[in-house]
Amino acid sequence: MRIAVCDDNRIILNEISAMLDEYSENQKIKIRYSCFESYEDIAERIDDFDLFLLDYRMNDFDKDNDGLNGMEFARLLREKSGKTKSVIFITAYPEIVYDAFEVRAYRFLTKPIDKQKLFKALNDYIVSYSDTETLLVKSNDEVHLINISDIYYLEVSRKDTFIYFKDRCLKCHRTISSFEKELEPYGFMRIHRSFIINTHRIVSFDTRTAKLDNGEKIFISQKKYPELCEAYLKNNKN
């Protein structure tokens, strides 16, 4: 899980860091997090994180600071990433709950931060995203939240499955068969005993290989070819 924490109070950043370390140890989940003291520092790194813990009113009362405040950054986040990123506001002003609806904030926590409430929010976040068009994958004790549409194909190697994206790969200790039914509703198909492919990424195919939009070619089992023809037409009607 990749988390960005933004607050201009170094003490609060240290407190949240300690809580995230404790949560990671308790849940046996590796969390990668980074702390920021301004939204300008984080604005160019939106793609690096899944969840954002944001101080809502950070710059509102600093007359010499023309930088982004929490709400403005949350709007920018929505413009750039749609629904693929989540925000938890951290605030000393409970009334902001009404404003939080505007940017579809996942939750808000009041200061001083209650550790158990933060832990519950993180637990609920993991559970809620297991039912959306995202995939939670554990790799080397670290939980990754993946946008399913970003996956190109999966390949099995011994007891591991490799998930391939446009320019990176993720290795997880999970059978490829366990992914098959989970990904089928999103246009994925097992075209070979070693491969599951995202049919939305196919640009052309014949009886032997399927070419993806990143140029890669994936082997097709001969007996799977008729099924792939049917699946491709079904999933690429537009």
pLDDT of 199 > 90? The answer is yes
Q: Which of 56-65, 142-151, 168-177, 192-201 has the lowest mean pLDDT?
A: 56-65
Task: Provide the pLDDT for residue 221.
Answer: 94
CB-count exposure of residue 159 (10 Å: 0-12, 13-18, 19+): exposed
CA atoms of 46 and 137, how far apart (whole Å): 20
pLDDT at 105: 73
Query: By mean pLDDT, which of 15-24, 121-130, 180-189, 191-200 is the weakest?
Result: 121-130
Residue 33 identity: Y
**Residue 153 pairs with which residues in a beta bridge?**
164, 197
Q: What percent of the chain has pLDDT over 90?
A: 40
For 73-91, give one letter per residue: b (16+ CB within 10 A) or e.
bbebbbeeeeebbbbbbbb
pLDDT over threshold 60, residue 38 = yes
Task: State the average pLDDT over residues 36-59.
Answer: 84
Is the pLDDT score of 61 beyond 60?
no
16 vs 96, higher pLDDT? 16
pLDDT given for residue 83 in this prediction: 65
pLDDT tens-digit map of 165-191? 988 899 998 889 989 988 988 899 999
Residues 44/50/56/59 CA torsion (nearest 10 deg): -20
**Alpha-carbon distance 126 to 128, whole Å?**
6
- pLDDT tens-digit profile of 108-123? 888 889 999 999 999 8
Using a cut of 0.95, tell me whether the model's pTM lies above it.
no
Of the chain, the percentage scoring pLDDT greater than 70 comes to: 86
- Return the domain boundaries, the chain: 2-129, 151-235
Which of 106-112's residues contact partners 24+ apart within 8 Å by CB, and which partners? 106/51, 108/56, 111/12
Q: 151-235 falls under which CATH superfamily? A: LytTr DNA-binding domain (2.40.50.1020)
pLDDT value of position 127: 76
Task: Evaluate if residue 64 carries a pLDDT over 50.
Answer: no
On the question of pLDDT at 65 being above 50, the answer is no
At the topology level, CATH places domain 2-129 in Rossmann fold (3.40.50)
Model confidence pLDDT, tens digit, residues 100-109: 556 677 888 8
103: alpha, beta or left? (left if phi > 0; alpha if psi -120 to 50): alpha
